[in-house]
Amino acid sequence: MTQRAITNAMTVDVEDYFQVSAFEKHIDKSQWDTLQHRVADNTERILDLFAQHQVKATFFTLGWVAERYPAVVKRIVAEGHELASHGYEHIRVTEQTPEQFRADIKKTKRLLEDMTGQAVIGYRAASYSIGAKNLWALRILEEEGHLYSSSIYPVKHDLYGMPSAPRFAFHPDNTQNLLELPITTLKIPGKNIPCGGGGFFRLYPYLFSKAAYQYLNLVERQAGIFYFHPWEIDPHQPRQQNLPFKSRFRHYLNLSRVESRLNNLLNDFAWDTMQNVFLSTPLAKTPS
């Protein structure tokens, strides 16, 4: 008897190339509006790609981007995708006090909901910056009306990660009902290998990513979470100068290959929004 195909969650972190954490010491936020913006056109290309493959996805969107490109945000919702929060201007939670974090997520949630009329129930921290030392953020997310977070990466990494976290969906101990949805990993003896997208999708050959999701779906019988950024399909973006080698390597590696790999990924697996895969409830509407 053939096993029923498992549907995975496709997600996009909607931010521009100059907003990544690797550039924060080189590009001040005061410069953002003076730089060439490419996030709107790249997100439109992603929406076209998803329409071609009849895939719905979750777009974790910066409030800063939404304010400047409301038409793109409204298209996301109009085409049946889920809109979720990525915070206002890509500040890592590790750099915020609880009071600052609460203000940031409240501002962003209200902005996205007022703009679209769709309830925002999901959140993803900038650079997966929720971990063992700031789990208080999950309690605040719940208190401010979020039903789920996708902010913990259960890996060891020099910039983020909580290797001790569960690999699959769990309810954090300090919350009542909030669901944490960790980014996908492949478990080998002694460690978890990141395979949920981003730079690792560009680093590994596509066949590795395909094999990892096949194992996840067919052997572990679990739904995976994949993420990428609009700038990752844009090999012609402006190149930043004077970057450390590691930052330059991570950001620009294999950008020209991402779109073709995404086409393969969308063809090879079943995809839907975070809410439809993990919460299985219709998108709520905010009160009029």
247-263 confidence digits (pLDDT tens): 888 898 999 999 999 99
16-54 confidence digits (pLDDT tens): 999 998 888 889 999 999 999 999 999 999 999 999 999
Strand blocks (E) in the chain:
7-14, 58-61, 82-85, 122-123, 148-149, 179-180, 185-188, 191-194, 225-228, 270-272
Cα radius of gyration (the chain): 18
Which one has a higher pLDDT value, 107 or 21? 107
Report the CATH number of the 7-279 domain: 3.20.20.370
What CA–CA distances, in Å, run from 219 to 36, 213, 216?
Answer: 45, 10, 6
Whether pTM exceeds 0.75: yes
Evaluate whether 52 touches 268 at the Cβ level (below 8 Å): no
3-class SS letters over 144-172: CCCCEECCCCCCCCCCCCCCCCCCCCECC
Does the structure show a pLDDT above 50 at 1?
no
Domain ranges of the chain: 7-279
C-alpha–C-alpha distance, residues 85 and 109, integer Å: 6
SS3 (DSSP) at 179: strand
